[in-house]
Amino acid sequence: MAEGDKSSSAAQTYASQFRELQVQLGSLKSEKINGVSLFSSDSSTSMTVYTSTNGSVVLRLP
């Protein structure tokens, strides 16, 4: 196999893997945990998570 063939093959592999990642990221956009969208900017679907026993530390998920 010539050096140019290796580079072409690697480029095709990287392009294929990149397309697969694009599809996976596209599907993540609609994922939800406990009814809360992971990537939503809609404040009506936000969730408050208390990360300390006394509730003093709060994490808000969009």
Conformation bin of residue 42: beta by default, left when phi > 0, alpha when psi is -120 to 50:
beta
The full set of domain ranges for the chain reads: 1-30, 33-62
The pLDDT of residue 52: 78
Q: Which comes out higher in pLDDT, residue 11 or 39?
A: 11
Give the closest residue to 61 by CA, choosing from 48, 42, 44: 48
Please write the tens of the pLDDT for every residue from 5-38.
Answer: 678 888 999 999 999 999 998 888 888 877 777 7
**Predicted local distance difference test score (pLDDT) of residue 12:** 92
Q: Are 26 and 36 in contact (CB under 8 A)?
A: no
Q: What is the pLDDT of residue 23?
A: 93
pLDDT band at 39 (very low <50, low <70, confident <90, very high): confident
d(CA 13, CA 1): 16
The pTM score is 0.48
